[in-house]
Structure 1
Amino acid sequence: MSPTLKAPGGTARATFVTAYSAVTLAQITNALPGALNGTFAIDFRTSGAGLTWIAGMFMMGIVVFELSWGLLGDKFGRKKLLYIGALTSIVGSVLAASAPTTGVMITAQAIGGIGAGILFPISLSMIAAITPDHRARARAIATWAGFLSLGAVVSPVLAGLTSQLFTVPGETPEAPVAFSGWRVAYLVAAVLAVTVMGIAVRAQDVPADRARRLDMAGQATLALGLIALLYSTVQAVDSGFGAWDVVAGYVAGAALLIAFVAIEARSQHPLLHLALFKNRAYAITGIVAVTGMFAFLAIAFSTSVAVGGLALVETWKVGILFVFIQGPAFLLIPVVGWLIHHVAPRWALTGGFALMAVSGFWLSTFRLGTPEQFGGTPWTAFIPPLLLLGIGFALTVGAITAVAINTVDPQHIGMASATTNLLRDLGFALGPVIGSAIAFSLGASAFAAPLAGILNGAGLPAEAAAGLGQVPPLGFLAGWQGVIAEFSGHALAGGAPQAAVEGMVGALNTARPAIQGVAGTSLGQGFQMVYLVAGLAATVSAVLTLFITGGRTAPTADQVAESTEATAEADAEEAAQAAFKTPIAD
């Protein structure tokens, strides 16, 4: 390895500042939707599928290319790729700040996810390359992890403060908000990205390694396969799992991922070494990386929607709740490092997943979907279980990598670390996607019968009631005026007299409190089930970690150093930090 401390045209200090700023930026943009999903539901008047796309698209932008960015940085230069990542983040943030519709916001999230997906590994590899001493590298990576966790804490605070300070009320019930203050949070992220690019001018770089090869066939099949599966699961939220496009997406996704496995088995330069999964202990670690992180983000997503979107709690209060979720990962970095060093890491995993399970089960008992003034659960009641979730996450997110590399041979440390990161981030992506599919489908089923009773009691004709029965409960909550306008248009187009349509609209407006109350409680039941499923997933993860046995001892610094010569440097450097028992909490 050739350290860049002697490379001309830059300074080590600027390189460190660039890397730490870049990872903070990436994590801020990554975590912003967590505190804003409820607000998005109201502002964009989106469907359940639309809300799921907003929440999940960012993580998919990270996951689908995660195994390639480090290699591309080596091949074309890390500094160049960092510029691309920051510029992409600027585009995504500005587009999000100005998004008028759900579709534009989804596009902004996809662009922003790609930008963050570049910045995460590139910022890490930049500081690893200029710290050839193993102990200095461990300290630098620990600091990098601290700034990453700091971004996770800053993000919900930023979302809450901007929503509170910059929101401009509207003048009519149809337009209650003239300007949503959360948009300023994305503008702040864009300014930070510009700052990162300015600092990076003075950063050091290493010569590009043109010999590195990218597994294009593997990358393409992996990306398209994951996107197809995501598409089907999200579409099922509104269309149902039997819809033709949902079934076709699952078939295509499965075929592409099978092709990915076949390609990787034959590739001389694979993205993923399948032989890793022949190791029983590593395979278990991979499973819990997915199921455990699914549980974490399913609970976080459900809290954002249930508290912000259904209970209509102010965004700044939701931001405070997310500080309790994200804050422990930042505050407990030295504690978790000590635990992993002095206690077998699998016990940290078991304890962490157990705390997450308690959080999920506890939250599943809350009354959801009703504002506090009408008997719903007070927002402050969420603090204790969410604090348990945050502590559990702090214990598990870094320990997963430490356990994974302790179960493989030294020469496979880098690939094991990179693969574990991919599986962990896949779990993050699945949290809101599967959580939405559960909550909105169950909510629609629970909503159908009481809605029909209310509409019949309001005197609406059967055909009119049947048409409104196709509207999902979130539509009545987040887009009442749109529902009324669409209903009126269909009725008039069907030949109903103007007076009759006005009478039906009046009856609907009179029944609005009852309809929205039932819609909220129905969706609340759906999110109660998500909490329960997340608790079960965390419980399974905790139990599985008890069977991680037979792992070798932690790799030595020399073994890690040897592994860096044969693996992508971004992956190898994360392995180095795990060898020194300093978890990366991303």
Structure 2
Amino acid sequence: MTTTLTPQLRAGRREWVGLAVLMIPVLLISIDNTVLGFAIPAISTGLHSTGVQLLWIVDIYPLMLAGLLVAMGSLGDRVGRRKLLIVGASGFGAASLLAAFSTSAEMLIIARALLGLFGATLMPSTLSLIRNIFDHDKDRRIAIATWAAMFSGGAALGPILGGILLEHFHWSSVFFINLPLIALFIPAAAVLLPESRDPNPGRFDPFSIVLSMLALAPLVYAIKHSMSEGIDILFWASLSVAVVAGASFVLRQLATPNPMLDVRLFANRVFTSAVASNLLSVMGLAGFLYFGTQLLQLVLGLSPVEAALVLTPGLATSIAAGYLAVPIVARFEPRVVVPCALVLNATGMGIVAFTPDHSVAGMMLAFLILGIGLGTAEVITNDLILAAVPARKAGAASAISETAYEFGSVLGTTVLGGLSTFVYGSALQSAIGDRAGRSEFDTLGSALEQAERMSAAAGDRITEAAVSAFDLGVQWAAGAAVVLVLIAAVLTSFGLKGAGRLMPGANAEAGEEAAEEAGAQRSRT
């Protein structure tokens, strides 16, 4: 049997303008994922939040994203990806206003949860629309490089914007930056983006959504609880719920003809390796941004704007590396380029982990090297993820990719942030005794604020002990990040074997399926 493949058409001006429009929600999501970095000290003192509440304020947003991305990707396949983008952007704006006017830690956690809910409606549609808009391989890789550059660049831009705003305004100002972007996006999307949906999506599965949330939320809670309270019955109960719900979710997807998440995609070794690489490398980035922004301000004494400028070179190199990855991967196999990029990522973390005395120059160098590695790896792995599936499965593949990214962000803050908090608390207790167990010493920001109320001698002792304890926590967390990213490098060096040969085959498969679908459509007509 001979199959005639449809020629790949190069993108025109409308497609590239459409890509620019799609970058607005990407920036919204990625900036909001990290914009609280420099606001953490101000929030901890302004809302009098505990250490656990502070972690939930940061984590609830990517947790909701990770738990709902697959569901919203499935919903977009049914109702239309452009329509879901517009609805999600409107809700995102309303939730931003609620967050900006929060008067308690609990209110801010709820607002951040709503931001995650509506953010989940935005992300799957962006990458799947790219897969459907850009037919030509080279155009698609440039578009994905732009997507990845905006994602990683936006993640780094979040703390920078936050730092600049906090230098002049209240911490709530970090949420107002969403509103002008949303006002620009909604009319532009309605005019410039094509509607796209799965022609045969199957039924919507609410029970699978519940199972996915029951798998993720208790897992994150178990990790957080173990860091603050140790391993007890509540830890094991939460972990058991997560394991049972996760196994039930997988079995349900395997038994469904049109699953919400096609877990069979993980049978593809290249696909699985690329997803795992995304998750582990983003864990390192999220951890760095969580403790690094506090270290720059509270330990090294920089203002928010000064601390933001320290991260600027890393932002620039991350974006540049994303675009440079396109010609590099055309010359070298992904199984070589991706592990090398991840080793650079680990090197940046290693500077933080193994430097006895942290400095501004050291932090700038660390983030710059990390940015090069992350920007390179993200573009290549996301292209591999999309190229490994036919176009009709682009929504499922992009949802899995983004779920890995967001869940990596959750785990980075939970595991690495939790580890730094645990080491900080233990070291502080060793230095000042049982006083460290009081809520005003839960975070470095609140401990320093408490020290200011004491006598000079007692305040200096508390400040020195708290800073030393936090510094030790950062070193432990950065060391753990090095291990995680090196594991990702080893996995991809083996898992991406044959990736260069797979990509053309995958595109051929996509073309063949498209031809078959077109033939079936003509037969029905």
Same fold, TM exceeding 0.5? Answer: yes
Going from structure 1 to structure 2, the CA distance change for 1:139 and 1:535 (only over 3 Å counts) comes to: closer
After superposition, the C-alpha distances for 1:386-442 in whole angstroms (9 at most, x for unaligned) are 111111101211222344567779997775554344323322221011012211112
After superposition, the C-alpha distances for 1:462-521 in whole angstroms (9 at most, x for unaligned) are xxxx5x34226743743369979xxxxxxxxxxxxxxxxxxxx99778522212321221
Local SS of the residue matching 2:336: helix
Matched, 1:232 2:222: yes
Structure 1 residue 229: deviation in Å?
1.1
Going from structure 1 to structure 2, the CA distance change for 1:563 and 1:431 (only over 3 Å counts) comes to: farther
Going from structure 1 to structure 2, the CA distance change for 1:246 and 1:92 (only over 3 Å counts) comes to: farther
CA–CA distance in structure 2, aligned partners of residues 380 and 85 of structure 1: 40
CA–CA distance in structure 1, aligned partners of residues 466 and 456 of structure 2: 15
Aligned to 2:446: 479
Q: Is the 8 A contact 1:26 1:115 kept in 2?
A: no
Local SS of the residue matching 1:65: helix
Matched, 1:99 2:46: no
Structure 1 residue 70: deviation in Å?
2.8
CA–CA distance in structure 2, aligned partners of residues 49 and 141 of structure 1: 36
Aligned to 1:328: 317
After superposition, the C-alpha distances for 1:107-149 in whole angstroms (9 at most, x for unaligned) are 2222222232222222344465555666655555554555545
Going from structure 1 to structure 2, the CA distance change for 1:341 and 1:207 (only over 3 Å counts) comes to: closer
Aligned to 1:253: 242
List alignment gaps of at least 5 residues for structure 2: 1-13, 518-525
Aligned to 2:9: none
Going from structure 1 to structure 2, the CA distance change for 1:286 and 1:238 (only over 3 Å counts) comes to: same
User: Which of 188, 202, 208 is 2:177 aligned to?
Assistant: 188
Aligned to 2:126: 123
Q: 516-525 or 553-562: which moved more?
A: 553-562
Q: Is the 8 A contact 2:447 2:462 kept in 1?
A: no
CA–CA distance in structure 2, aligned partners of residues 410 and 30 of structure 1: 28
Instruction: Give the letter aligned to residue 84 of structure 2.
Output: L
CA–CA distance in structure 2, aligned partners of residues 479 and 329 of structure 1: 33
Q: 557-566 or 294-303: which moved more?
A: 557-566
Q: 264-273 or 37-46: which moved more?
A: 37-46
User: Which of 289, 302, 311 is 2:278 aligned to?
Assistant: 289
After superposition, the C-alpha distances for 1:127-177 in whole angstroms (9 at most, x for unaligned) are 65555666655555554555545534543332222122x23xxxxxxxxxx
Aligned to 2:159: 156
Task: Give matches, 1:260-275, under 5 Å.
Answer: 260-275=249-264
Matched, 1:33 2:36: yes
Going from structure 1 to structure 2, the CA distance change for 1:477 and 1:424 (only over 3 Å counts) comes to: closer
Aligned to 1:495: none
Q: C-alpha root-mean-square deviation of aligned residues, in Å?
A: 3.5
Matched, 1:298 2:279: no
Matched, 1:390 2:357: no
Instruction: Give the letter aligned to residue 44 of structure 2.
Output: A
Going from structure 1 to structure 2, the CA distance change for 1:268 and 1:417 (only over 3 Å counts) comes to: same
Q: 276-285 or 83-92: which moved more?
A: 276-285
Q: 184-193 or 525-534: which moved more?
A: 184-193
Matched, 1:111 2:114: yes
Aligned to 2:467: 520
Q: 209-218 or 20-29: which moved more?
A: 209-218
Structure 1 residue 19: deviation in Å?
2.3
Structure 1 residue 104: deviation in Å?
2.2
After superposition, the C-alpha distances for 1:304-348 in whole angstroms (9 at most, x for unaligned) are 232234444311122223333433231223311111221111212
CA–CA distance in structure 2, aligned partners of residues 207 and 110 of structure 1: 27
Going from structure 1 to structure 2, the CA distance change for 1:352 and 1:308 (only over 3 Å counts) comes to: same
Going from structure 1 to structure 2, the CA distance change for 1:443 and 1:400 (only over 3 Å counts) comes to: same
CA–CA distance in structure 1, aligned partners of residues 448 and 299 of structure 2: 17
Aligned to 1:541: 488
Q: 13-22 or 382-391: which moved more?
A: 13-22
Structure 1 residue 39: deviation in Å?
3.9
Q: 76-85 or 433-442: which moved more?
A: 76-85
Q: Is the 8 A contact 1:407 1:550 kept in 2?
A: no
Aligned to 2:429: 448
User: Which of 549, 553, 567 is 2:502 aligned to?
Assistant: 553
CA–CA distance in structure 2, aligned partners of residues 407 and 124 of structure 1: 14
Going from structure 1 to structure 2, the CA distance change for 1:12 and 1:287 (only over 3 Å counts) comes to: closer
Aligned to 1:6: none
Q: 12-21 or 115-124: which moved more?
A: 12-21
Q: Is the 8 A contact 2:72 2:124 kept in 1?
A: yes
List alignment gaps of at least 5 residues for structure 1: 1-10, 168-179, 368-375, 453-465, 485-504, 568-586
CA–CA distance in structure 2, aligned partners of residues 282 and 58 of structure 1: 26
Structure 1 residue 352: deviation in Å?
1.2
* Normalised TM-score (structure 1): 0.76
CA–CA distance in structure 2, aligned partners of residues 246 and 197 of structure 1: 43
User: Which of 21, 26, 32 is 2:24 aligned to?
Assistant: 21
CA–CA distance in structure 1, aligned partners of residues 303 and 453 of structure 2: 30
After superposition, the C-alpha distances for 1:529-583 in whole angstroms (9 at most, x for unaligned) are 001111111122222222222444322544334457999xxxxxxxxxxxxxxxx
Q: Is the 8 A contact 1:448 1:469 kept in 2?
A: yes
Q: Is the 8 A contact 1:351 1:395 kept in 2?
A: no
Going from structure 1 to structure 2, the CA distance change for 1:33 and 1:558 (only over 3 Å counts) comes to: same
Structure 1 residue 355: deviation in Å?
1.0
Structure 1 vs Structure 2: percent identity of aligned residues? 20
CA–CA distance in structure 2, aligned partners of residues 289 and 208 of structure 1: 26
Structure 1 residue 95: deviation in Å?
2.2
Going from structure 1 to structure 2, the CA distance change for 1:221 and 1:209 (only over 3 Å counts) comes to: same
Going from structure 1 to structure 2, the CA distance change for 1:88 and 1:566 (only over 3 Å counts) comes to: farther
Aligned to 1:69: 72
Q: Is the 8 A contact 2:18 2:193 kept in 1?
A: yes
Local SS of the residue matching 2:31: helix
Going from structure 1 to structure 2, the CA distance change for 1:280 and 1:87 (only over 3 Å counts) comes to: closer
Pick the structure with greater CA Rg. 1
Structure 1 residue 194: deviation in Å?
2.4
Task: Give matches, 1:500-511, under 5 Å.
Answer: 511=458
User: Which of 373, 381, 384 is 1:400 aligned to?
Assistant: 381
Q: How many residues align?
A: 502
Structure 1 residue 22: deviation in Å?
2.7
